[in-house]
């Protein structure tokens, strides 16, 4: 092997390694990040509101990464425009939240959070219900 090819091999290897490392904490869960829509329905009446459920749920499990006040590495890889510190931010991507985090008749989605404090399935069903109800305040 010539010196040039040897160097090229090292360089390519380093790039691949760096891109894998840069991918960060979400990596292991990648294949299972998104599940199918939960097909949750809204019972009448529903007791779940943003104040008594949505807000505390997001603050407990999500906003340490998904918060509009966090920038750069503070986000721990959480994508832009996925900020759950406001109802507006939640509503903007509620279908993605359903497919990664909620539970219902069609699926129990456990893609998020990838690590740390994890909601119970019971809470995931409540999340599915609250989203299906249109995320009342
Ligand atoms: C430890 C940090 C962290 C926490 C806590 C966390 N996430 Fe994430 N979230 C991420 C990362 C990193 C990604 C990107 C994962 C990837 O692309 O593989 C992500 C991606 C997502 C996506 C997909 C975005 C897209 O459309 O590509 C959704 C939806 C999501 N998270 C919702 C949530 C919800 C809801 C919670 C709380 C129950 C939560 N996350 C908690 C770090 C976090």
Q: Model confidence over 84-129: pLDDT tens digits?
A: 999 999 999 999 999 999 999 999 999 999 899 999 999 999 999 9
Distance 11 CA to ligand 1 centre (A): 31
pLDDT tier, 5 (very low <50, low <70, confident <90, very high otherwise): low
Spatial neighbors of 92 by CB under 8 A, at least 6 apart, are: 81
Verify whether ligand 1 is closer than 6 Å to residue 77 (CB atom). yes
Q: Which residues of 21-56 are buried (b: 16+ CB within 10 A; e: fewer)?
A: eeeeebeeeeeeeebeebebeeeeeeebebeebbbe
Confidence at residue 20, expressed as pLDDT on a 0 to 100 scale: 40
Mean pLDDT of 4-21: 46
Confidence at residue 137, expressed as pLDDT on a 0 to 100 scale: 97
CA quadruple 65, 71, 76, 79: dihedral sign = positive
Across the chain, mean pLDDT equals 86
8 Å CB contact between 71 and 83 = no
Confidence at residue 12, expressed as pLDDT on a 0 to 100 scale: 47
Quick one: which of 15, 24, 121 has its CA closest to 77? 24
Verify whether ligand 1 is closer than 6 Å to residue 51 (CB atom). no
């Amino acid at each position: 092997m010539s010196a040039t090819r040897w160097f090229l091999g090292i360089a390519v290897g380093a790039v691949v390694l760096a891109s894998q490392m840069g991918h960060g904490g979400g990596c292991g869960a990648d294949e299972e990040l998104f599940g199918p829509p939960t097909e949750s329905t809204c019972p009448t009446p529903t007791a779940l509101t943003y104040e008594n459920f949505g807000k505390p749920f997001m603050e407990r499990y999500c906003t340490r990464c998904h918060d509009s006040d966090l920038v750069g590495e503070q986000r721990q890889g959480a994508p832009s425009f996925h900020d759950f510190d406001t109802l507006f931010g939640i509503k903007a991507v509620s279908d993605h939240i359903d497919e990664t985090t909620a539970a219902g008749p069609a699926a129990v989605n456990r893609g998020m959070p990838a690590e740390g404090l994890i909601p119970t399935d019971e809470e995931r069903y409540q999340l599915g219900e609250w989203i299906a109800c249109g995320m009342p305040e």
